[in-house]
Structure 1
Amino acid sequence: MSVASQTEIGQMQLPENLDLTAVTPLHKDLVSMRGSELVVDASAVERLGGQCVQLLLSASKSWAEDGVSFQIENASDSFLSAIALLGVEPDSLHVKEQPQ
């Protein structure tokens, strides 16, 4: 069972809890999507651990090196707070700003 549900090619919905137990399934999901443009929906995220942040940063860099678009949309307040607490800028994860 995967941690993130794929709604269609190039789109991924992150689950509510991205703790240490979510790292391996999330990694598998990301590896399976490598090479295609990817939009990650982070609207449901309530808990986000450092290991998953590192994995998302690595994915963002890998997609950039491949010359393929990687973007996080609909980031929840919890997602944004967690990355801020870890000193990660939203731009480094390609977090798309939500319209005001």
Structure 2
Amino acid sequence: MMAAIALPENLDLKAAAPLKAALIERRGGPIEIQADEVRRLGGLCLQVLLAARKAWSRDGQAFSIKGPSEAFVETTRLFGAEGALLSAEFQGAES
């Protein structure tokens, strides 16, 4: 069974620890991150998500981000992390 986490609107510094705890709780199986409500994505939460993506990959488990908001995608791009975090369908074709 796939676990799911719906991200809050504001992924600021205060959201990093609860996000990490929620991810650790669900480790060991496939996970779907619902990012459609995100309006602000801070660097620390982005790092937590990148670390989770790496951990799930090492475990051989599926890790997907579904329906990321424009703000989520744009912030991920600004940090240069879209290739590591977002599936190809959400990556811009910027030259």
Common fold: TM-score over 0.5: yes
Q: How does 1:1-100 map to 2 (within 5 A)?
A: 10-89=3-82, 91-95=83-87, 97=89
Find the residue that maps to 1:72 and give its secondary structure.
Answer: strand
How many residues of Structure 1 are paired with residues of Structure 2 in the alignment?
90
Q: Distance in 1 between matches of 2:79 and 2:86?
A: 16
1:25-63 per-position Cα deviation (integer Å, ceiling 9, x unaligned): 001000000001001010000000000000000000000
Report 1 or 2 for greater relative contact order, CA contacts < 8 Å, sequence distance ≥ 6.
2
- 1:95 offset after TM fit, Å? 3.4
- 1:9 offset after TM fit, Å? 5.1
Higher helix share: 2
Structure 2 length-normalised TM: 0.88
Q: Distance in 2 between matches of 1:80 and 1:94?
A: 8
Structure 1 length-normalised TM: 0.83
Structure 1: gaps (5+ residues): 1-7
